[in-house]
Amino acid sequence: LRVAELLSKRLGVPTGYTVAVRKVESFSPGNIHIQYSSVNKKKKEAYELKVNDSEILLSADSAAGIFYGVQTLIQLFPKQVESKKEIKDFAWTVPAVSIEDSPRFWWRGSMLDVARHFFTKQQVKEFIDNMVKYKFNVLHLHLADDQGWRLEIKSLPKLTDVGAWRPERKGKWGNTPRPSPNEPKTYGGFYTQEDMKELIAYAKDRFVEILPEIDVPGHSLAAIASYPELSCTDSFYQVNIGDKIIDWSQKGFPSLLDNTLCPANEKVYVFLDKVFTEVAELFPFGYIHMGGDETSKNFWMKSPQIKSLMKEKGFTTMSEVFGYFVGRTAKIVQSKGKKVIGWDEATDATLPEGMIIMDWKGLKGGSKAAKQGHQVVMSPTTFAYYDLYQGDPVAEPPTYSMLRLSQSYKFDPLPEGVDEKLILGGQGNIWTEQIQNVRALQYMMYPRVFAIAESVWSQQRSKDWKTFIKKVENEFERMDVAEIKYSRSMYDPIFKSYTDGDNLILDMQTEIEDLKIHYSFDGSFPDNFYPEYTKPLIIPKDVADVRVITYRNGKQTGKLITMPVSELQKRAKKK
């Protein structure tokens, strides 16, 4: 009944109709009928949807199946159904269909990093509303990092009194100056436990489980700023504001200041027991994520406490120290009646019994864990990270690596040679270092969300790139009505350059078919009457920039890209 009420509300706004919900003994023509019926005993989220000229009939074994059938039904309505206000004098029609549908994987996740930049309770609700349109069912909240602690822990009030706040910065992440000790700390926020209960209930109504992540032992500066005794290093700590904290150019990624909890300090485990006790009581989902990624160990190497621990335990490597911490923390989580999840760095040590791995560093970590008999959620940066470039860096928001839509669409959560029973599913992740607001968040997520959604719901054999692009373009029209921002970077050309003798050569391709590339060398705006790119171009010696736009059937599809010749020279390889 609750799902029917959600459908009624969803249709009522754009249509202006009062869509009544009631139980009936028999069906009558001209209505939307929802019923529990045996559809697929192996897939509890399966549904059947039939539309003909007299009725709409939705059948499923479970309320979840009904809910996902409703999402498909809404997608069959015209794009105007996405309107936030009534559309008057409009003929509302749905095409005749007969659909039998079920998911490939039960874990279909979306991760939202609320630690780097805080997103309000209402914004998280909107995030949930948008993810369920595409049948995602796990919201992974990254609640703690160097830049913020976002969840009230009543027994540790400084975590939000201190750890949730920092001075505000607007510039590029990693280039911001460090704050002075007395600079006002006004930027941030956190969720009270009552806030989180409200979000959990909101998500449950939409068949979404919320997975809490408390990232330890690395990424812990907000916790250490709140309780400095948790560190191995005696220093002055502040919540990080986005200034450089790790040297990614060096082997082992040493941290510039100690952002790790101290594995040799018993106070750390008392702290973690308090945190995970409250987290476990608050979140009904059967899983808790303990992080474990990107743990710099250079400060541990210098710590007398760590050296003493190593002597006591007979450890000879930092990996053993890390494994010791992971093992103890996993037992704390498991003692609360929860299954523990960690990032795939946990596979660098002996994995605790029953630990689930969330793969992010390609597919190797997840495959390794699965071959050891551990369950895995696949969310590799090579396919499923929404915060990466989706077009050429000269025309995109700043980030650190490339992931085009076509690459995301190749995602298969089941690596070759791995037992399918051990793969819980897959997930797309949005890290927010460079993302300060919802519109920027939407731009980075869409349309790559669609690629991950299809990869975790549909069978791999049913995927087809050309068909997918048509669906993406249809969804763009719906998102325009819904006022959701998205990237059109799939229409922009891919630039490659090389040198041949004294000549600089520009080679361009398009990610999708049926596009024509038009260009100019003189700084002017190239419309579809300008020269069309048909073969690699020799760049004239006196040209400073190449301007490029893609067109389809004479209409502009891509954005204007101004490519500096100096950038092409930097990228150029010798032929």
CATH architecture for the domain at 2-101: 2-Layer Sandwich (3.30)
Query: Residues 209, 211, 214, CA angle at the centre, nearest 5°?
Result: 165
- CATH 2.60.40 residue ranges for the chain: 492-574
Whether 26 has a pLDDT exceeding 80, the answer reads no
| Residue 378 · residue 111 · CB < 8 Å | no
Average pLDDT of the segment spanning 52-71 = 96
Please give, one letter per residue, the 3-state secondary structure of 258-289: CCCCCCCCHHHHHHHHHHHHHHHHHCCCCEEE
Q: Which residues is 509 bridged to in the sheet?
A: 494
User: Cis link prior to 397 (omega < 30° from 0)?
Assistant: no
**Which tens digit of pLDDT belongs to each residue from 85-111?**
999 999 999 999 999 999 999 999 999
With a cut of 90, say whether residue 67 has pLDDT above it. Answer: yes
Q: For a pLDDT cut of 70, what percent of the chain falls above it?
A: 100
- CATH code reported for the domain at 107-482: 3.20.20.80
Decide if pLDDT at 64 tops 90: yes
Quickly state the pLDDT bin for 277 (edges 50, 70, 90). Answer: very high
| Contact (Cβ atoms closer than 8 angstroms) between residue 396 and residue 377 | no
321 in Cβ contact with 338 (< 8 Å): no
CA dist 25 and 228 (Å) reads 65
Structure tokens at 226: 């709140």
Q: Which of the following CATH numbers is that of domain 492-574: 3.10.350, 1.10.10, 1.10.287, 2.60.40?
A: 2.60.40
Share of the chain above pLDDT 90, in %: 91
Tell me which of 294, 344, 345, 475 is the catalytic residue.
294
Residue pLDDT, tens place only, 370-429: 999 999 999 999 999 999 999 999 999 999 999 999 999 999 999 999 999 999 999 999
**Tokens 């650190």 map to which residue?**
400
DSSP one-letter string for 350-401: PPPTTPEEEE-STTHHHHHHHHTT--EEE--HHHHBTTSBSS-GGGS---S-
Q: Are 428 and 448 in contact (CB under 8 A)?
A: yes
Instruction: Determine the Cα–Cα distance for residues 127 and 58; give it in Å rounded to an integer.
Output: 26
Residues 191 and 149: their CA atoms lie apart, in Å, by 9
294 an active-site residue?
yes
Instruction: Report d(CA 558, CA 491) in Å as an integer.
Output: 5
Tokens of 337: 């009646």
Dump the DSSP string for 283-311. Answer: --SSEEE----S---HHHHT-HHHHHHHH
**β-pairing verdict for 97-101 and 47-51:** antiparallel
Nearest to 319 by CA among 299, 340, 295, 338: 295
Active-site residue (options: 117, 140, 142, 219):
219
Q: For residues 433 and 399, give the distance between their C-alpha atoms in angstroms, rounded to a whole number.
A: 9
Distance of CA 6 to the CA centre of its chain: 25
In angstroms, the CA 259 to CA 144 distance is 12
Task: Provide the pLDDT for residue 25.
Answer: 77
pLDDT band (50, 70, 90) for residue 448: very high
In the chain, where does the domain assigned CATH 3.30.379.10 lie?
Answer: 2-101
Is 203's pLDDT higher than 90? yes
Own/partner long-range contacts of 185-190 (Cβ < 8 Å, ≥24 apart): 185/239, 187/241, 188/118, 188/148, 188/164, 188/239, 189/118, 189/120, 189/150, 189/164, 190/118, 190/148, 190/149, 190/150, 190/151, 190/152, 190/160, 190/164
Asked whether the whole model's pTM tops 0.75, one would answer yes
What is the pairing mode between strands 516-520 and 545-552? antiparallel
**Nearest Cα residue to 98 out of 66, 55, 141, 136:** 55
Q: Does residue 338 surpass a pLDDT of 90? A: yes
| pLDDT value at 113 more than 80 | yes
Residue range 341-369, pLDDT digits in tens: 999 999 988 899 999 999 999 898 999 99
The per-residue pLDDT for 30 is: 82
SS3 30: coil
Answer whether 536's CB lies under 8 Å from 507's CB.
yes
Token duo for residue 264: 């040799």
pLDDT number for residue 403: 98
Q: Which residue has the tokens 């869409």?
A: 446
- Residue 542's pLDDT is 97
Indicate where the chain has its CATH 3.20.20.80 domain(s). 107-482
Higher pLDDT, 180 or 570: 570
Mean pLDDT of 454-481: 97
User: Which residue in 45, 101, 145, 396 is the catalytic one?
Assistant: 145
| Tokens read off for 410 | 């190749």
- Is 145 a known active-site residue? yes
Distance CA 108, CA 425 (A): 6
The closest of 463, 462, 486 to 474, measured between CA atoms, is 486
Cα separation, 464 vs 466, in Å, equals 6
Q: Residue 253 in contact with residue 296, Cβ under 8 Å?
A: yes
Least Cα distance to 341 among 349, 501, 351 occurs for 351
